[in-house]
Every structure is written in C-alpha cells, then in structure tokens.
Amino acid sequence: MSKSYVIGVDYGSDSVRSVLVDAGNGQEISSSVFYYPRWKRGEFCDPASSQFRQHPLDYIEGLETTIRACLEKAGDPAIAKAVKAISVDTTGSTPVAVDERGVPLSLTEKFADNPNAMFVLWKDHTAVREAQEINDHAKKFDTDYLQYVGGIYSSEWFWAKLLHVLRVDEDVRGALYTWVEHCDYIPFLLTGGSRATDIKRSVCAAGHKSLWAETFGGLPPDGFFSALDPLLSGFVDRLFTQTYTSAEQAGTLSEEWAHRLGLSTEVVVGVGAFDCHMGAVGGQIEPYYLSKVMGTSTCDMLVAPKDDVNNTLVRGICGQVDGSIIPGMIGMEAGQSAFGDAYAWFKQVLMWPVANLLAGAQNIADEDKATIAELIDTQLIPQLSKQAEALPVTDSSELAIDWFNGRRTPDADQTLKGALSGLHLGTDAVRIFRSIVEATCFGAKRIVERFVEQGVPVKGLIGLGGVAKKAPFIMQTMADVINMPIRIHKTEQTCAIGAAMFAATAAGIYPRVEDAMAAMGQGFEQTYEPRPEMVEIYAQRYEQYKKLGGFLEANK
C-alpha cells in the first residue's frame, strides 16, 4: 500500500517549525526551523511597556521556508506528491487587524511599520486596563459571559487586545475590518482566502479567548460590547457565528501556495488551533492527565468526557470548551505566564558582564570573545541546575514568587510581579536559581490544586516540550513538589506532531484524532517519581510560597 504523508507546522514565540511525517506510523521524515528575523532584532517591541508584536512577514516567510526545506531534506520527489494535508498550530491569543480581504494591515504600505497593525503576541500585556474593564463590566449582566473562561478575562486575550488597539490608534481603527487569531489566519492564507468573512474560526481560539459559547448562542451580543465602549459597537457582526474543530478542513491549498511550496492543490489544510492544544494531542493526552507544554510559558491541558464534567465550571483557569482539544470531549486550559521565561530572565541578568564588559575588553581577540560568550551561554543553566540539585533544601532557603510576567492561572492577574525573599550575604546565583525553579513548580502545583478543588480530578502529569526533555532537575523538582509522577513524552516537537495528527484526521486518513494519536504517537521515554524525603519539605515550603504570594497580592 502506498504511503501518505502530512505536514505539521508549529508557530512558537521565537520561531516556526515544520515537520514532515509518515501518516501511517508518525515517523518524522524531516524537520526545519525558521527564526523570525524581525522578532530576533527586537523590532516593534518594547519590553518595558510589555509590548510584544510580530510582523506577519516573519510568519509567512517562515511558513514557506520550513515546508520547502522539509521536502528538500526528504530527498525523494515522490514524497511531495504523497503529502495529503497540512495543519497549523500557533501561539495565542495572538490576534491581528485585517481588512475586508482578510489581509493584515501591516502587509499594506501605510501600516508596514505600525506595531498596532501587527500580530499582538500572546504575552503582550498592554491591555491590562481593558481586561480589568471587561471583568468589571461583565458583573453588570444577568448572563455570566465569563463563565467558560474561568470567570476572569485576561489582558493576554482577544477582546482586551482589540479594545486597546482601537483606543490607541485612530488610523488602525479606521482601516481594520475585523480581528483574527494567528491560528485562523494561516489556514485562510494557505487556502487562498480573499474575504475576511470566509475565515473559518477554530473553536479552540473562539471558546478559550473570544468568549464564544454554545450556551449563549455564540459570542456575547453587541449590547455587551457597545456598553463597554462605543468603539466596539457593531464589531460582533464582523466576526463569526460558526466555529470548527481542528479535525475539520479549512479547505485545500490555493494554486499560489501549492506552487510556492511544491505541493498539489489537492492537499487538505486543516482548521488551526493553539500550540498547547495540538501539543497535548501530540503528547498523547489521556482523560484527567494534565498535559504540560513547557516552554517560555506553560500551557496545561486536561480533557474529560462531557458526561463527567456535566455542569462543573472550574473557576480561575483559561477556559473549558467542548472540542477544543479532542472533538467530543471538554478541553480545559490553564498555565503559567512565565516558566522558561523566568529562567531566561535570570540567565540574562547573569550574562550582563559577558554582553557588556567582555565586548569592550581590549586584550582578548574577537574570536576568543565569541567562544567565551557561547560557552557561558550554553553551559550556564545546565551548570546552575547541577549545583542547585546538590544543595540541601531547608525551610529557611531562599524563596521566590514566579509572577515575573504576571499570573495566568489560577485567577489571571497580569499586574502581579515576581519576587525573591530570604536573601542574605551567603545567597549566590545557584541559590537564587533554585528558588526560581521551586517557584515555577509551586505555581504548577497551584494549578493542580485548583482543578481538584473544583471537582476535576488530576490522575497524573505528562511533560511535553523542550524544558521537559532537557531539564531533569526541574522535572524532578516538579514531581517532588506536586507529589505526582511525570511522564516525559519521547517527541520533543509535540506541538508540530500534534498538528500532523490533526492533518491526518482532517484528510480522512483517520476517522478520529484519537485514532491518529494511537497510530502516530511515539510514547514516553521517562517517568520522574516523587521522592518521599523531598515531598515533605516541599510541602512546608509550598505553604510559605502561598503566604508570600498572598502578601504580594494584597500589597500590589
């Protein structure tokens, strides 16, 4: 029997990765990564004001470059002819202003360098004020429009970002027709869409970030938004009434994109979704196992049968949506705003002398400077981890709070800040690093506790992504802190593989995504078991973490 192939495309915060996969067994034939050049240069961003924007050309160039590279690396022209489908996952909520044709405004000459006309990255927190207004406003209505997003709307999400852009940029306000998530735009682009009204919106993005729910007939009514701010008047009518799961087709490749990629116009393009949702599928999620996609932030995914969930609504998470992860099940999302980003921040602090003093040293050759800088850059975190693991843990050890980029869940609040406490003259880089690792694990425990408190059991943990595979000290600490085993999936690129599984389902190779998971999943490579001698001391320190966090929250 002839083989079929699918392509999964995973848009992350810094890069896009495509994988070419054998749809029969999940074997990765080739992969390619493209780092966004404009983003890497820091263009259109202002970290001091929490502004993080990405230009659509970074996405489009990366899409073409990585898919073509995958096909070239495969080395067999017959494989390209046997590609059946492409599916895409992206960060989110990462929306953009588009015109009536569905073209992002920043792809037009007038707005080419305007950050407000670009994709507003998930971690952009410029809309904190607008999010708070939405939360206050929602309390005035008999219908709780926030009930399926955990009861709290975040500045990282669709409506808060839209309202902020409308308020601060009159030119963009006058030119935009509608507001589109990244995961919905890319399939529209690949299928040659020419009208914004034709964009197929994923239930994943719509339910978790846009307040769409079947219970109240779709999106909240115009009156809800126009009463919040007249700038939103009539906007609901330019959005959507129907949503789709990622097991469905967005269409097929347009002639233009078939030519650009070297593929057939018969290639199916699946409906998109957020990276963590497809990542959970790539990591072979099971009911009631919390699948943690760990990267710059974490996205924690859980699925449960609809009959089990019934009327249970978990407060303070990032939403629960029918079909957002696996069609036919309730998908629940939580997460931490900073995980890998917390370690990266500390690494950046320690790298300051390398970047600023070494560069100016007169008696060291440039080649040697580059060698030294690269050595420190690559070895810093591994060496900190090794030394931190050897330190004894006591109830008086340094303590940190992990809200370096605000708090996502439980109970989103982007105004909160991180903290370090218990510092003394014996405190060194290793001890601070350990406290940050512990804090991120304590934050993860808070999420598990919230599910359990609200009536949703958590049977175990599944670790996905680069941090899960490359950071054994962090994973062992998390197992000890949460007092649960963590299974680490074999595939590092679970998001891209998950997209490939959805592509195979959308193309009809498998009738259900569960069947694609069973056939294409690669299984697990390792399990971290909690160490009884560490569970007790971390339980004590967790109480200290909650107490310190409560103090900070009360005095922000």
Neighbours of 137 (CB within 10 A): 17
Question: 479-512 burial, b for 16+ CB within 10 Å, e for fewer?
Answer: bbbbbbebbbbebbbbbbbbbbbbbbbbbebbee
In a domain, 296, yes or no: no
Q: Are residues 170 and 46 in the same domain?
A: yes
- Is a pLDDT exceeding 90 seen at residue 466? no
- Assign 360 a pLDDT band (cuts: 50, 70, 90): confident
- Is a pLDDT exceeding 80 seen at residue 1? no
Nearest alpha-carbon partner for 213 in 125, 150, 165, 301: 150
Percent of the chain topping pLDDT 70: 100
Q: What is the mean pLDDT of the chain?
A: 96
Residue 85's alpha-carbon distances to 11, 190, 201, 263, 283, in angstroms, are 17, 11, 18, 10, 20
Q: 């967790």: which residue's tokens?
A: 542
Q: Are residues 187 and 207 in the same domain?
A: yes
- Is the CB of residue 401 less than 8 Å from the CB of residue 545? yes
Q: Distance (Å, rounded) from C-alpha 551 to C-alpha 236?
A: 40
- Is a pLDDT exceeding 90 seen at residue 326? yes
Q: Are residues 433 and 361 in the same domain?
A: yes
pLDDT tens track for 163-209: 999 999 999 999 999 999 999 999 999 999 999 999 999 999 999 99
Q: Are residues 92 and 19 in the same domain?
A: yes
Q: Distance (Å, rounded) from C-alpha 549 to C-alpha 233?
A: 39
CATH number at 150 reads: 3.30.420.40
pLDDT of residue 363: 87
What tokens does 517 get?
């998971």
**Rounded mean pLDDT, 508-529:** 97
pLDDT of residue 354: 87
Stated as kind and residue range, the H or E segment containing 375 is: helix 366-390
- Is a pLDDT exceeding 90 seen at residue 442? yes
Domain that holds residue 207: 5-283+492-522
Backbone angles phi, psi at 422, to 5 degrees: 75, 20
Q: Are residues 121 and 238 in the same domain?
A: yes
Sequence-separated (6 or more) residues with CB below 8 Å from residue 24:
3, 4, 519
In a domain, 484, yes or no: yes
In a domain, 323, yes or no: no
Q: Distance (Å, rounded) from C-alpha 100 to C-alpha 196?
A: 5
pLDDT of residue 164: 98
In a domain, 318, yes or no: no
Region of 217 (left: φ > 0; alpha: ψ -120 to 50; beta: rest) is: left
- Is the CB of residue 471 less than 8 Å from the CB of residue 436? no
- Assign 517 a pLDDT band (cuts: 50, 70, 90): very high
Q: Are residues 279 and 381 in the same domain?
A: no
| Beta-strand relationship, 28-35 and 15-22 | antiparallel
Q: Are residues 24 and 154 in the same domain?
A: yes
In a domain, 506, yes or no: yes
- Assign 465 a pLDDT band (cuts: 50, 70, 90): confident
**Rounded mean pLDDT, 499-510:** 98
Q: In what order do the strands lie in the sheet with 486-489?
A: 320-322, 329-336, 298-305, 289-294, 460-464, 486-489, 524-528
pLDDT tens track for 142-152: 999 999 999 99
What tokens does 175 get?
């030119």
Sequence-separated (6 or more) residues with CB below 8 Å from residue 142:
none
pLDDT tens track for 88-117: 999 999 999 999 999 999 999 999 999 999
- Is the CB of residue 246 less than 8 Å from the CB of residue 202? yes
Neighbours of 525 (CB within 10 A): 11
Q: Are residues 500 and 544 in the same domain?
A: no
Q: Distance (Å, rounded) from C-alpha 123 to C-alpha 13?
A: 9
- Is a pLDDT exceeding 50 seen at residue 3? yes
- Assign 358 a pLDDT band (cuts: 50, 70, 90): confident
pLDDT tens track for 31-62: 999 999 999 999 999 999 999 999 999 999 99
Radius of gyration of the chain (CA): 23
Question: 436-448 burial, b for 16+ CB within 10 Å, e for fewer?
Answer: bbbbbbbbbbbbb
Name the most confidently modeled range: 313-322, 365-374, 485-494, 504-513.
Answer: 504-513
| Beta-strand relationship, 460-464 and 486-489 | parallel
Query: What is the residue type of 248?
Result: E
Q: Are residues 456 and 539 in the same domain?
A: yes
Q: Distance (Å, rounded) from C-alpha 203 to C-alpha 370?
A: 47
One DSSP character per residue, 229-254 reads -GGGTT-GGGS-S-EE-TTSEEEE--
Q: Are residues 517 and 529 in the same domain?
A: no
- Is a pLDDT exceeding 50 seen at residue 536? yes
**How many CA atoms lie within 13 Å of 30's alpha carbon, on the beta-carbon side?**
16
In a domain, 295, yes or no: no
Residues written for the chain: 556
- Is a pLDDT exceeding 60 seen at residue 159? yes
Q: Distance (Å, rounded) from C-alpha 251 to C-alpha 268?
A: 6
Q: Distance (Å, rounded) from C-alpha 170 to C-alpha 122?
A: 23
- Is a pLDDT exceeding 70 seen at residue 477? yes
In a domain, 368, yes or no: yes
In a domain, 313, yes or no: no
- Is a pLDDT exceeding 90 seen at residue 498? yes
Q: Are residues 506 and 415 in the same domain?
A: no
Total domains in the fold of the chain: 2
Q: Distance (Å, rounded) from C-alpha 334 to C-alpha 239?
A: 25
Q: Are residues 418 and 373 in the same domain?
A: yes
Model pTM score: 0.91
